[in-house]
């Protein structure tokens, strides 16, 4: 397995950055994550747009042009020869003499195998709520402190992941956006969240009988919802069957399945438009 560091390829065993980097010293950095299917990155332009936006917001100049970054991603895919994978692009605060001041960022790209599941297995995911607001939520930073700290909290409550709320207003999961289905609407929070790429694709869909809207809502709306689902790069649209031990809806997940089916069609269309990396 190979890793790209500042546009140079290293074996995974030889790849390293200094402990003086601000990502180590202060947890300062951004990243983005996308998947490949049959060697082709999915929605690459969207992810690069968000990556450069996050970098700008955190005052981190990307040391390579957009074209160079895309070529580095494609070169890594070609070198590792993994058809279905996750690609993580990390931009750090750079090496710091005093452990506090930013310098030239380091760009790290890693790839790992990813199982592509187009169809649901089981009932969905169980979530437990927690009152927490992420720092700088519109930026995809490397700060997952609260989510990792609360892993035992989640496990003790028989859940699989967190659903953050801020004083009763639903926000997001640590690695996914959140939706509920009401009588006539599919609703996702609008405020103080990371607006995911998969989320944006869902907002563009047309589901018969439903309007898809961005609107903040409360925890009690979740408990009363007909359905709930999460969206992410790896899971597409994935049902939520339980929140805080309370079953959501009737468990049929009809709308979530429709949304997921349309997402798969969008991904297929995107893949047809992407040039082959492996020939």
Per-residue pLDDT reduced to its tens digit, 205-235: 999 999 999 999 999 999 999 999 999 999 9
Residue-range domains of the chain with CATH = 2-113 (3.30.470.10), 125-268 (3.20.10.10)
- The pLDDT assigned to 278 comes to 62
Residue 279 has pLDDT above 90, yes or no: no
Query: What are φ and ψ of residue 65, in 5° steps?
Result: -70, 165
- The pLDDT assigned to 208 comes to 97
Per-residue pLDDT reduced to its tens digit, 9-42: 999 999 999 999 999 999 999 999 999 999 999 9
- The pLDDT assigned to 12 comes to 96
SS3 readout for the chain = CEEEECCEEEECCCCCCCCCEHHHHCCCEEEEEEEEECCEECCHHHHHHHHHHHHHHCCCCCCCCHHHHHHHHHHHHHHHCCCCEEEEEEEECCECCCCCCCCCCCEEEEEEECCCCCCCCCCCEEEEEEECCCCCCCCCECCCHHHHHCHHHHHHCCCCEEEEEECCEECCECCEEEEEECCCEEEECCCCCCCCHHHHHHHCCCCCCCEEEECCCEHHHHHHCCEEEEEECCCEEEEEEEECCEECCCCCCHHHHHHHHHHHHHHHHHHHHCCCCCC
Per-residue pLDDT reduced to its tens digit, 172-192: 999 999 999 999 999 999 999
Residue 129 has pLDDT above 90, yes or no: yes
Residue 121 has pLDDT above 70, yes or no: no
- The pLDDT assigned to 261 comes to 96
- The pLDDT assigned to 27 comes to 98
Query: What's the pLDDT band for 274 if we cut at 50, 70, 90?
Result: confident
Per-residue pLDDT reduced to its tens digit, 56-109: 999 999 999 999 999 999 999 999 999 999 999 999 999 999 999 999 999 999
- The pLDDT assigned to 276 comes to 77
User: CA-CA distances (angstroms) from residue 178 to 31, 131, 275?
Assistant: 21, 15, 32
Query: What's the pLDDT band for 275 if we cut at 50, 70, 90?
Result: confident
CA nearest neighbour of 140 among 222, 202, 8, 232: 232
Query: What's the pLDDT band for 143 if we cut at 50, 70, 90?
Result: very high
**What is the value of pTM for the model shown?**
0.96
Residue 135 has pLDDT above 90, yes or no: yes
Question: With pLDDT > 90 as the criterion, what percentage of the chain qualifies?
Answer: 95
Average pLDDT, the chain: 96
* Of 127 and 122, the one with more pLDDT: 127
């Amino acid at each position: 397995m190979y890793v790209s560091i500042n546009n140079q390829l290293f074996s995974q065993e030889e790849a390293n950055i200094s402990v003086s980097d601000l990502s180590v010293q202060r947890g300062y950095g951004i990243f983005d994550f996308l998947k490949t299917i049959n060697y082709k990155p999915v929605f690459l332009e969207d992810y690069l747009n968000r990556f450069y936006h996050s970098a700008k917001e955190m005052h981190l100049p990307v040391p390579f042009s957009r074209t160079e970054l895309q070529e580095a991603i494609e070169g890594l895919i070609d070198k590792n020869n993994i058809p279905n994978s996750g690609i993580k692009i990390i931009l750090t605060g750079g090496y710091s003499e005093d452990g506090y001041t930013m310098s030239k960022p380091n760009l790290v790209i890693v790839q790992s195998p990813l199982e592509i599941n187009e169809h649901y297995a089981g009932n969905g995911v169980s979530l437990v709520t927690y009152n927490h607001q992420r720092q700088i939520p519109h930026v995809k930073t490397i700060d997952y402190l609260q989510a990792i700290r609360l892993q035992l909290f989640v496990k003790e409550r028989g859940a699989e992941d967190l659903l953050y709320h801020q004083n009763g207003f639903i926000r997001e999961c640590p690695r996914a956006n959140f939706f509920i289905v009401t009588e006539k609407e599919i609703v996702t929070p609008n405020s103080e969240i990371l607006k995911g790429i998969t989320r944006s694709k869902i907002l563009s869909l047309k589901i018969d009988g439903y309007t898809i809207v961005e609107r903040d809502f409360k925890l009690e709306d979740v408990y009363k919802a007909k359905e709930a689902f999460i969206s992410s790069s790896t899971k597409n649209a994935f049902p939520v069957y339980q929140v805080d031990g309370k079953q959501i809806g009737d468990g049929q997940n009809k709308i979530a399945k429709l949304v997921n089916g349309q997402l798969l069609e969008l991904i297929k269309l995107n893949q047809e438009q992407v040039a082959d990396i492996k020939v």
